[in-house]
A and B are shown apart, each in its own frame.
Chain A
């Protein structure tokens, strides 16, 4: 069986992680930032499944962990959307720069 090596998959997931991080720090649109967070979480999912498949093929722990991550990510997204909607009601904008009540 001509498998793709583990390092390739890890490369993809790391790239996704940093794309997510980049998005989180550069985007000013709240929805896009939320998407960036999801990207980070999903890159980790890939990691878990890749490790599970390649290193411990007889076990399923990694897959279960990624299931938990998906569930939690959904919960987080729900809360985040609620927060964003609430901000939108007050600010009429979903640009984070508009939320500048507090300065460091």
Chain B
């Protein structure tokens, strides 16, 4: 509850801070303070200290899984704002509003990760989506940005329509006449065709939101058109948070009818992995490549949805952290580049050794090489499916796709290290920026050597309060 309150209140604070001060540094600092408060507030929630006791009538349920998801989302946002906050100034004049919108998105995130009724899921998704439409179109003079925003809106609204229809069907199918997700369990609700239709519509609409194939087609354009700072935010924090909600929904609501929908998830996952990885190979722009790579990574995260066991839930948290941090890091470097194509990275190692080295670690993590967080993230995903005892073909397919992903991730490494060029950044990055990148890289490596540092200690803290 703390997180929802704080993020909503701080969103308003941010809006007003734009009135009271014109200093961009001050606005940024207010945002950083807000994010720190948010992280602390969420942490306080985890250890049992609540700002106020609100009777939510079971519409929200604050469990470890959701709160951990929150913590990762807020923590990544904090890192993201510290790294790329300065670059938001280049998008437009309304810095305070951008931050306000980000806080509203985080409010939606906090709802999506802890919802307990379908109503809350719908509200959370919409609270995430509507500010994102605005952020996507934030670069008002840029036609690409406007167009991306329109596309995002149309696709988003359409998938919301599908989701609502699904919810309506499920509402008709339950015998209780409520929206609580545990009322959808068997015993309370029969698996009728109406129920299955609702379930599949929800699956499709959530697949839209996490850009899983074949519902991914809006993603590359929107990610490409949006201002790069906000692409970074959308592709990481928002995406993994919706994933946490996705898994929560299917685990809590449809966990017992798993064998009926598992095959659909398997097909979606296979298609996502294939399309994401193969299309990414053909991209010329690193930004677009990262858009497809985010589709490919979503394919891996779908494996957790397929398996839905303890390993999967633990793994998705780790995946969320490893993927978000690595991608935020790469985007932070990308924003500073003059040229977004692969050639633009040529010879970066010569010019900016720190940027190149940290970028390499992030890319290795995305490719899933050991000693980086990405390896254990992928390891958890794979082993969660192997643990179910079925769908081994999907696991093998997934690792083959992971091998394909090496091609486009390593193209950036090859450009940075082995090709000659002037791979220039727009301005000499500051010491703080470099330091933060190193911190991110260290986090990625720590997650790769000792993932229990995140999972074990956090869950221990939570269970002992």
Contacts and interface: CB of A to CB of B under 8 A. Distances in A.
Q: Are A and B associated in one complex?
A: yes
B144 A102 contact: yes
Nearest to B123: A68
A20 B133 CA distance: 21
Contact of B171 (A48, A72, A90, A91): A48
Interface residues of B, number: 38
Nearest to A24: B158
Interface size class of A (residues with CB under 8 A): 35 or more
A55 B172 contact: yes
A72 B146 contact: no
Given A33-B154, A102-B225, A83 B141 contact: no
B137 A83 contact: yes
Nearest to A62: B171
Interface stretch (B78-86, B161-169, B185-193): B161-169
B215 to A, nearest CB: 14
A76 B150 CA distance: 12
B161 A37 contact: yes
Given A17-B165, A61-B177, A75-B130, A87 B123 contact: no
Contacts of B87: none
Interface stretch (B39-47, B216-224, B374-382, B385-393): B216-224
Given A51-B168, A68-B123, A79 B133 contact: yes
Contacts of A61: 171, 177-179
Interface string A54-66: 0110010110110
10 contacts: A40-B157, A40-B161, A47-B172, A51-B168, A56-B177, A59-B178, A75-B130, A99-B143, A101-B225, A104-B217
Interface of B: 119, 122-123, 126, 130, 133-134, 137, 140-141, 143-144, 146-150, 153-154, 157-158, 160-161, 164-165, 167-169, 171-172, 177-179, 217, 220-221, 224-225
